[in-house]
Structure formats: structure tokens, C-alpha cells
Copies of this chain bind each other. A is one copy, B any other.
Amino acid sequence: MSHEDRCKVVHADDFRWDVPLREYKTEGTHFRDITRQTLLGEGADEQALNFITRYFEIQPGGYSTLEHHEHPHSVVVIRGGGEVILHDRVEPIALHDVVYIAPGSYHQFHATTQEPLGFLCIVDRERDRPKLPDADDMETLASVDTVRRRMRT
């Protein structure tokens, strides 16, 4: 295969790329108004990548799943802003802010403004599955006032 075939540009048009626009997850009710586009790393030509570059977009009032896993996340906000639960605190996030989600940390993204919150999220190709909080974890998470007020499950 030539280099021409293997290298590629995936052109963007108003936060849509020429890749499938997917549901965030195919089951569950612990998230709201969120979509996923996998930009690079899943195609047959991109198997040399050890990591996957995804774009998630949350509509105003929506949120991702409150979950944790052992693989870390590297996140870069490229649209709007909002708030993120980082295990035991809540932080505001704005355009181009970078978020590191450390292994084992509960996290949840919230679109708290009138604009969508869109962010790149890069993860290892090989990674463990996310886990939802059990009763004990819920109690611990809710013990922090700011987290309790923001979290949705």
C-alpha cells in the first residue's frame, strides 16, 4: 500500500467529520445528550496507532457517565465549556483546557452553558471497560457537597 493510501486527512465541517456519528453508548440511562465520533485509530489503515482519538459532544444540560477505569484519559476541550467531576472535586472547563483523568478516578463531564461542550478524548487502544459506582462509592462521592450537587447517575 502506498503512503498516499495510508496517510489521510479527515476534513471537519462544523464539528462533524467524515466518520460515523454514533451514540455515546448503546445502552444505559446514566448519560444524556451525548454523541461520539471516532476520528482516528479504528480504521484498518490506522492499526499502527496504539491510541484512539475520539470526539465527544454533549448538548446543553447533558452529561457523560459517572464512571472510572484503569486507563487514563487525555482530554482537550475544542467547543464550548462546562464542568467536570474529577473524583472528589468539580472543576470548570473552558475552550482548549486540557484535562488529565488519572487511573481509577471517577469522572463526569457536564455541558453547563448554553453551548454544546465538545472535547477530544484520547485513550489507549487496549483498555479496560468503565465501571459504574457501587453503593459504597456513591456514598463516598456524595460526601463532597460540590460533587453531590453536580453528579447524575
Contact of A50 with B51 at beta-carbon distance under 8 Å, contacts A8-B100, A39-B98, A87-B3 already known: yes
User: Are A9 and B122 in contact, CB atoms less than 8 angstroms apart?
Assistant: no
Q: How far is the CB of A51 from chain B (nearest CB, A)?
A: 5
Spot the interface stretch: A26-34, A56-64, A103-111: A103-111
CA separation between A25 and B112, bound complex, in Å?
40
User: Are A15 and B107 in contact, CB atoms less than 8 angstroms apart?
Assistant: no
Q: Which B residues are CB-close (under 8 A) to A53?
A: 74, 76, 98, 122
Partner of A3, one of B50, B91, B95, B105: B105
A84: CB under 8 A from chain B? yes
A11: CB under 8 A from chain B? yes
